[in-house]
């Protein structure tokens, strides 16, 4: 049994990671400021002696005793990270410094949840870890993109200068149950719109591509990286290399939900990547990892989750119109 800290542990990915670690017998400390996370995501574990929740912002130092740290704290959808871009950058940079300082003091292994956004709008396809990226440093997405790139720099400098045992994972588009219905991401947007009989919003012509990894596959890859010997640092891409256009995804969601809604097109957001697909050669060779959940199967699980949310009278007010609210917020933010 290890004492494991998960920052952003009440979020979409963090809660699945906490649950997996908890079920494997570890003592899990979930830290979250609930900016985008939710206590509902970790409700099943509350009250158990091996699970603890702490409301805390990692922009402030944290003094706890742990063996491992998974640093997942940061809003990850454009709607959320662009709402307060300065705070987003602070979370990525100051938060990384605070967690690395904690790892240095406790001699804990620490994993940074980085992102495929470090590749920007890529000129190399698919994207290997050796690609340095094509990022707009002053655009509306740069608070997240550059914040994560700086965090990677800090992690490797702490490794070189202070011998901290680091792991860096670059996460590609992930989906599944517990996604925030109002996060503006394409999977949650499409599902909520389809279930409510609203038209599905596709930005641009819908020919831009993404690769979608089911959350259980992602968590497995993250934990495999943390379990590697000291000296294996990454960065390592974790994502599903299956590539789909936005129109293909919209058609699939309509078919699986049985919705009669239509597809409507709106202007493409600034700096929106034209294509995104991970090269997972390293993940396969170093971690023995590859995704196992097909997109259609994962979407079925996600649709079931959102359908229950919509049917739950206590949750329904927060979910109704979520995708529409996200689209309106995107227009307001100019994204």
Does one domain contain both 192 and 325?
A: yes
3-state secondary structure of 329: helix
Does one domain contain both 247 and 151?
A: no
Q: What is the pLDDT along the chain (335 residues), one digit of tens a residue?
A: 999 999 999 999 999 999 999 999 999 999 999 999 999 999 999 999 999 999 999 999 999 999 999 999 998 878 888 899 999 999 999 999 999 999 999 999 999 999 999 999 888 999 999 999 999 999 898 999 999 999 999 999 999 999 999 999 999 999 999 998 888 789 999 999 999 999 999 988 888 889 999 999 999 999 999 999 999 999 999 999 999 999 999 999 999 999 999 999 988 776 667 788 999 999 999 999 999 999 999 999 999 999 999 887 555 444 444 444 444 444 444 33
Retrieve residue 177's tokens. Answer: 């149950």
Q: Is residue 282 part of a domain?
A: no
Q: Is residue 221 part of a domain?
A: yes
Domain that holds residue 44: 3-174+214-238
Peptide linkage before 126 cis (omega within 30 of 0): yes
Does one domain contain both 107 and 184?
A: no
Q: Which residues are within 8 A (CB) of 153 and not within 5 positions of it... i.e. 6 or more apart? A: none
Contact status, residue 154 vs residue 94, Cβ threshold 8 Å: no
Does one domain contain both 139 and 270?
A: no
Does one domain contain both 140 and 201?
A: no
Does one domain contain both 152 and 200?
A: no
Q: Are strands 174-175 and 166-171 parallel, antiparallel or unpaired?
A: unpaired
**Number of domain units in the chain:** 2
Does one domain contain both 108 and 232?
A: yes
Q: Is residue 38 part of a domain?
A: yes
Does one domain contain both 180 and 59?
A: no
Retrieve residue 124's tokens. Answer: 């190399």
User: Rounded CA gap, 25 and 92, in Å?
Assistant: 29
Q: Is residue 266 part of a domain?
A: yes
Nearest by Cα to 91 from 154, 172, 158: 154
Q: Is residue 318 part of a domain?
A: yes
Does one domain contain both 127 and 257?
A: no
Position 121 scores a pLDDT of 87
Does one domain contain both 40 and 78?
A: yes
Q: Is residue 111 part of a domain?
A: yes
Q: Is residue 307 part of a domain?
A: yes
Contact status, residue 226 vs residue 287, Cβ threshold 8 Å: no
Q: Is residue 281 part of a domain?
A: no
User: Rounded CA gap, 115 and 127, in Å?
Assistant: 12
- Give me the CATH number covering residue 150: 3.40.50.720
Catalytic residues: 144
Q: How many CB atoms are closer than 10 A to CB 106?
A: 18
Q: Are strands 200-203 and 263-266 parallel, antiparallel or unpaired?
A: parallel
Q: Are strands 209-211 and 243-245 parallel, antiparallel or unpaired?
A: antiparallel
Global pTM reads 0.90
Does one domain contain both 233 and 84?
A: yes
- Give me the CATH number covering residue 190: 3.90.25.10
Percent helix, strand and coil across the chain, each to the nearest 5: 45, 15, 40
Position 269 scores a pLDDT of 72
Does one domain contain both 197 and 298?
A: yes
Position 331 scores a pLDDT of 41
């Amino acid at each position: 049994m290890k004492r494991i800290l998960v920052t952003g542990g009440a979020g979409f990915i963090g809660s699945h990671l906490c649950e997996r670690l908890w079920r494997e017998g570890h003592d899990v400390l979930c830290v979250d400021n609930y900016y985008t996370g939710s206590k509902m995501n970790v409700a099943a574990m509350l009250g158990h002696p091996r699970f603890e929740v702490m409301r805390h912002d990692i922009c402030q130092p944290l003094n706890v005793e742990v063996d491992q740290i998974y640093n997942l704290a940061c809003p990850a959808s454009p709607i959320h990270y662009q709402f307060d871009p300065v705070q987003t950058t602070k979370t990525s940079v100051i938060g990384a410094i605070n967690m690395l300082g904690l790892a240095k003091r406790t001699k804990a292994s620490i994993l940074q949840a980085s992102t495929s956004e470090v590749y920007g709008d890529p000129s190399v396809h698919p994207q290997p870890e050796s690609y340095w990226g094509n990022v707009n440093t002053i655009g509306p997405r740069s608070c997240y993109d550059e914040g994560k790139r700086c965090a990677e720099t800090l992690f490797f400098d702490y490794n070189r200068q202070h011998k901290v045992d680091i792991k860096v994972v670059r996460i590609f588009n992930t989906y599944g149950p517990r996604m925030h219905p109002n996060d503006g991401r394409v999977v949650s947007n499409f599902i909520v719109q389809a279930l409510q009989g609203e038209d599905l919003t596709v930005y641009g012509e819908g020919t831009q591509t993404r690769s979608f990894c089911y959350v259980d596959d992602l968590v497995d890859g993250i934990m495999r990286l943390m379990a590697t010997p000291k000296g294996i640092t990454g960065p390592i891409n974790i994502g599903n290399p299956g590539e789909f256009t936005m129109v293909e995804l919209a058609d699939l969601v309509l078919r699986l939900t049985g919705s009669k809604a239509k597809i409507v097109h709106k202007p493409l957001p600034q700096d929106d990547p034209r294509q995104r697909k991970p090269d997972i050669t390293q993940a396969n060779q170093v971690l023995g990892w590859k995704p196992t959940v097909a997109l259609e199967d994962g979407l079925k699980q996600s649709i079931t989750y959102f359908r229950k949310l919509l049917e739950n009278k206590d949750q329904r007010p927060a979910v109704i119109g979520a995708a529409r609210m996200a689209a309106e917020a995107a227009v307001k933010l100019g994204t």
